[in-house]
Amino acid sequence: QLATPNLAQLLDLVALGTVADLVPLDGNNRIMIDSGLQRIKSKRCAVGINALFEVAGVDQHSADANSLAFYIAPRLNAAGRLEDMSIGINLLLTDDHSEAKQLAAQLHEINQQRKKIQADMQLFADSVVDELKQQPQLPDAICLFHKNWHQGVVGLLASKVKEFTHRPVIAFAQENAESEWLKGSARSIPGLHIRDVLVAIDASHPELIKKFGGHAMAAGLTLKAENLNLFKQQFSAHVTQHLASDGLEQVLLSDGAVDVEDLSLHTAEMIQQAGPWGQHFDQPMFDDWFIVKQKQLIGDNHTKLTLQTPDFQKQIAAIAFNRHPNDFTAEGNSIHICFQMMVNEFRNRRSLQLKIEHILK
């Protein structure tokens, strides 16, 4: 007779899978993620997860849902995007510490390749978006393609372009260098069911799309390269038909301004302790005006800033991921931003850092 398995031992994997797959954080899921994080922080988890934290250079004892979403999940996903997803599966299944370190190092290297590929693709996409922004108004839909793009990364690219334009976006790549087929990844905005748009295109032009699937906010499709221009026309037309009159107006939800005395490490720590945060249980978002004291490029395309409160009482560190310093006003000027309050840990020192999510003015 088999013993009853102790399912609590799997909560580390439950937490990782729930966060990585963007599952809504209802009451039960939050409890399971929190329990899984407790196992991860105490290193009572899969040896592969320990190895991933090590190669990512992240303090495992302070792990939270953001750690899983931004450091662990991308390394696991990179294998499926560029090579063989079984590398990640084997990492999570192994009990051998040496094998786990080897596989984690392999995933880390693949993720570095993914970042390089994505950055190169983003440069071209940014140039296209910049051209579109020179027009009197952005088109209702954006469709992008480049023959050198990697099909495993087009979904990430489409997501980034959608974030910056608030438009439904499809990014295409060739199936392979010799193929006549293009594979596309679509990302949508609230109020537009992207799969319904593809259904409508397929109904009006049955031979245009070879296959497609997805849901309201994301979809994938395959079509012939020679049909791309016709598809672009149909995609734009059907998006316009499906959009409500105010469908392209972006709505940002904010919890308002924060009193200067509450712009503190203590507040950020309280917010962190109230987690886990995630899908349908968003971390508090605030908005306010600040003076830009200093801005500098870090990495390939991130900006580190020093902001000052309008009353000159405080200077606060801030970070904006995937934003160039040129996206911000000149030093000495005021800026209106949406931000989250984060705990920054560096060399065993904890400090307040604002994570800039949107530039309003």
Same domain, 230 and 316: no
Same domain, 143 and 237: yes
Q: Report pLDDT for 316.
A: 97
Residue after which a domain boundary falls, among 186, 214, 242: 242
Q: Which two tokens stand for residue 228?
A: 């791309």
Same domain, 282 and 335: yes
Residue 214 lies in a domain: yes
**Residue located via tokens 């400090």:** 351
Same domain, 267 and 337: yes
Q: Which two tokens stand for residue 94?
A: 């192994």
Q: Which two tokens stand for residue 108?
A: 């880390």
- Residue 18: which pLDDT band, with cuts at 50, 70 and 90? very high
Same domain, 237 and 323: no
Quick check: 182 and 221 in contact, CB under 8 A? no
What lies within 8 Å, CB to CB, of 319 at 6+ separation is 302, 303, 304, 305, 353, 354, 355, 356
Residue after which a domain boundary falls, among 242, 273, 289: 242
Terminal CA-CA length for the chain: 67
Residue after which a domain boundary falls, among 212, 242, 272: 242
Neighbour count for residue 25 (Cβ, 10 Å): 22
Same domain, 234 and 286: no
Give the CATH number of the domain where residue 302 resides.
Answer: 2.40.50.140
Mean pLDDT of 342-359: 92
Residues 290-304 pLDDT 10s = 999 999 999 878 999
pLDDT cut 90: percent of the chain above it? 73
Asked whether the predicted pLDDT for residue 246 surpasses 80, the reply is no
| Chain mean pLDDT for the chain | 92
Residues 329-347 pLDDT 10s = 999 999 999 999 999 988 7
| Core vs surface per residue 105-115: b (16+ CB within 10 A) or e | ebbbebbeebb
Element (H, E) at 286: strand 286-298
Number of domains composing the chain: 3
Same domain, 348 and 319: yes
Residues 53-72 pLDDT 10s = 999 999 999 999 999 999 99
Neighbour count for residue 203 (Cβ, 10 Å): 9
pLDDT cut 70: percent of the chain above it? 100
How far is 123 from 14, CA to CA, in rounded Å?
36
Same domain, 187 and 232: yes
Q: Which of 99-108, 143-152, 256-265 has the lowest mean pLDDT?
A: 143-152
304 by Cβ neighbours in 10 Å (0-12 / 13-18 / 19+) ranks as middle
What lies within 8 Å, CB to CB, of 286 at 6+ separation is 254, 255, 256, 257, 258, 338, 339, 340, 341
Greater confidence (136 vs 201) lies with 201
Question: Pick from 128, 91, 96: which is nearest to 111 by CA?
Answer: 91
Residue 247 lies in a domain: no
Greater confidence (245 vs 118) lies with 118
Residue 249 lies in a domain: no
pTM across the whole model: 0.83
| Core vs surface per residue 56-77: b (16+ CB within 10 A) or e | bebebeebbbbbbbebbbbbbb
What lies within 8 Å, CB to CB, of 30 at 6+ separation is 276, 281
Mean pLDDT of 227-254: 91
Same domain, 56 and 101: yes
Give the CATH number of the domain where residue 181 resides.
Answer: 3.10.310.30
Mean pLDDT of 66-86: 92
| Domain residue limits at 150 | 137-242
**Residue located via tokens 């087009």:** 154
Element (H, E) at 34: helix 27-41
Same domain, 267 and 237: no
- Residue 4: which pLDDT band, with cuts at 50, 70 and 90? confident
Same domain, 108 and 11: yes
How far is 141 from 132, CA to CA, in rounded Å?
11
Q: Which of 8-12, 170-174, 246-250 has the lowest mean pLDDT?
A: 246-250
Residues 113-152 pLDDT 10s = 998 898 888 888 888 888 888 888 889 999 999 998 999 8
Can you spell out the DSSP letters for 2-30?
Answer: PPPP-GGGGHHHHHHHHHHTT----HHHH
Please give the distance of CA 1 from its chain centroid, rounded to a whole number: 46
142 by Cβ neighbours in 10 Å (0-12 / 13-18 / 19+) ranks as buried
Q: Report pLDDT for 219.
A: 95
Question: Pick from 360, 336, 138: which is nearest to 248 by CA?
Answer: 138
- Residue 284: which pLDDT band, with cuts at 50, 70 and 90? very high
Quick check: 296 and 325 in contact, CB under 8 A? yes
Quick check: 239 and 141 in contact, CB under 8 A? yes
Q: Report pLDDT for 234.
A: 96
Same domain, 93 and 26: yes
